[in-house]
Structure 1
Amino acid sequence: MADLFDSDPASPPPAAGGPRPLADRLRPATLAEVIGQDALIGPEGPLGAMLASGHLSSLILWGPPGVGKTTIARLLASETDLSFVQISAIFTGVPELRKVFEAARLRHGQGRGTLLFVDEIHRFNKAQQDGFLPHMEDGTIVLVGATTENPSFELNAALLSRAQVMVLRRLDAAALGEMLERVERVSGPLPLDAGARDAILEMADGDGRALLNLAEQVIGAPATLDREALTRRLARRAPRYDKSGDEHYNLISALHKSVRGSDPDAALYWLARMLTGGEDPRYLARRITRMAVEDIGLADPEAAQLCLTAWEIYERLGSPEGELALAQAVLHLALAPKSNAAYTAFKSAMAAARQTGSEPPPKHILNAPTRLMKQEGYGAGYQYDHDAEDGFSGQNYFPDGMKRGIYYIPVERGHERELKKRVDYFVKLRAQRMKAGG
């Protein structure tokens, strides 16, 4: 496999016998020609500084599809005079890796270094990732791995400790516009009016490779296309969304924080992004309900029930009609008064329960159904609250010897404003009963 992907960056590309795709014809010849990653490869960027120092260390290029990871790796090899070898973790097993390492070892013995570019490196298992380490340490290879997934979660700590993570950004509108201008320098003006030009950038969705493929489809159109005509001619690119990857967690985090931040429009937008990306509405219903109990709590006791009702409506109606109920629940949560007092109180109580271990309840609040238990003092001195003044005895309900815990502190918002009054009322009565009891 190494022979299939091994190339000498100093040698010219083989002559093409047929038409070359636009993306191939516009492939940058130097790092300076790479669009949209100036913060990384510019003179002040980490890669630019690394090249200026004359020392290239192993790297992990992390970023979405179509932002130049493979191109940058190839150009790094060219600018450091390293032999470029490209493999994909999807198609490469242990036998192929051994051949790659052996070929790199032979080159190293002849005084030539190897830049090993591993696409989708996160797909290698732990043992395969560990296999790179000795060859990185002895200088046999400079590893450049590419991944669309968060390296912190997908790559071994040992591998990450030997490589610098470089983050490539999604191409913004300006970068995509610059790329479209580069297309027109090769192909001539594209038959697009201003609206269609904006539309094709939107369709690319931050992916430079997708933009070039879309542009290639409109070259040679018989007439100038407006937005509507372009939409008919081209299929809109599906939004990038992986229900088990970074996008899934990034978007649900955005939705949750928009709700917590009381921004109904942003919350509705992120809900729509997840739904259009193909997220399971049942997952969203579960997470929305969690938001109600975590961030709204008793400030709006009806919020959780409203979420459960929206969940049930979705189960009965299905998509797309049932999704409106989820949208209404999200709007309600975003506009509801917020409190995490119950959430915080529960965590504090759980921590106290773990610390106090097996401390028993005080005997006066234990039932005594047998004579022996009565003899042991179970139930002795219990005060029936309904018989007490104001229906409140003020007795201690914590374990004997344990300092009284204060976990629930209501906020001055929504329904919890009323609950705070009740908490303060009972605190005052308890103090009075304790004083009266001596």
Structure 2
Amino acid sequence: MTYDNPTATPAAGYMPGFGNDFETEALPGALPQGMNSPQKCNYGLYGEQLSGTAFTAPSHQNERTWCYRIRPSVKHTHRFTKIDLPQWKSAPNIDPDVISLGQYRWNPLPHTEAPLTWLTGMHTMTTAGDVNTQTGMASHIYLVTASMVDEYFYSADSELLIVPQEGKLRLATELGIIDLAPQEIAIIPRGLVYRVELVEGPARGFVCENYGQKFDLPGRGPIGANCMANRRDFKTPVAAFEDRETPSKVTVKWCGQFHETEIGHSPLDVVAWHGNYAPVKYDLNTYCPVGAVLFDHPDPSIFTVLTAPSGVEGTANIDFVLFRERWMVAENTFRPPWYHKNIMSELMGNIYGQYDAKPQGFVPGGMSLHNMMLPHGPDKQAFEGASNANLGPDKLDHTMSFMFETRFPQHLTRFAAKEAPLQDDYIDCWTSLEKTFDGTPGVK
């Protein structure tokens, strides 16, 4: 969309960092200095705080942003009308006719000629926990073929982690503009108003909707200060604003329901802001994986990019885990993920390339689900290839997959079970595994 008003300022760039305090202004002098709430703001602006945590949260966890805007946001919400977005579901969403216990895999959701915006093109695949108690998550696939025009959205339920797989999006937010392409991710905080435009399409990707505590970087423990994801590589947009008087719609997601209100202007009217509660983007190619350099390999948690903690120490509400290109160097080691079952439910998506544990069937744009305490692991081709491979240094190349992992069981939606392109024969990938035990000592 082109900006038809000379005071609508496009983004000029990004500020580095994640969870740090920032200040940015689109007009000189719009940002007060030395105080948050002056008696009168410059340019006739209104001061307003957006809080992402409780007021009394510990100082190192407290997140808020002061916004200096053309209108207070209370002018952005008039009387609400309930609307239906039938493909976007929230937990709890347990369909009695759907079996979620199992190993599942889907082909990419096919593109369509239908005009689908960010809201109408969101398709929920799984839900976990309870949106009303702010625990758990939902996983979605988005298909976008049309921009939101004079339409805006925010979620009171959740922050959204966006993982593009095809096409390019522009996220025009209250705090600035983020252009987002495959191999990048973005986080849109709870309560932030934004509009999604199609830059290059059609666009398809994945969304993790986090009901619980915010995503943060995981503790590195003995790894120390470097590698994995670094705060400086998370980019926050500079201030940009729209001063447009035009009929507009704002949709709000609240307790799993959608509500719409009509206003007479663009709500993206923040001229300046400072704080640490803001949207970010991150280039997945800046993630530096670590691993073993002698034998065996660490748990897959070593590949965690972001984690959203639960009330149990060390057990995540959600982990966002990335499997990207890397060197494999461990000796006398079965290198792909081993056969296992654990307390976490694992939803994976393929951004591009071939995943080493599933050489066939897990294609770019596809997804798989291995729910809690259900065994899974390499298929026969991957097992035999890894068991007989020459274990010299080997570069795992042209691959990028991810995992939304949660402590809660993930329940399939009716769409995922009945309408999405489910691979009915996925479980057959393990039927050809043969018994090799013969009772004789030694490695076979």
TM-score band w.r.t. shorter chain: under 0.3
Scaled by the length of structure 2, the TM-score of the pair is 0.19
Q: Which has the higher contact order (CA 8 A, sep 6+)?
A: 2
More helix by share: 1
Q: Which has the higher strand share?
A: 2
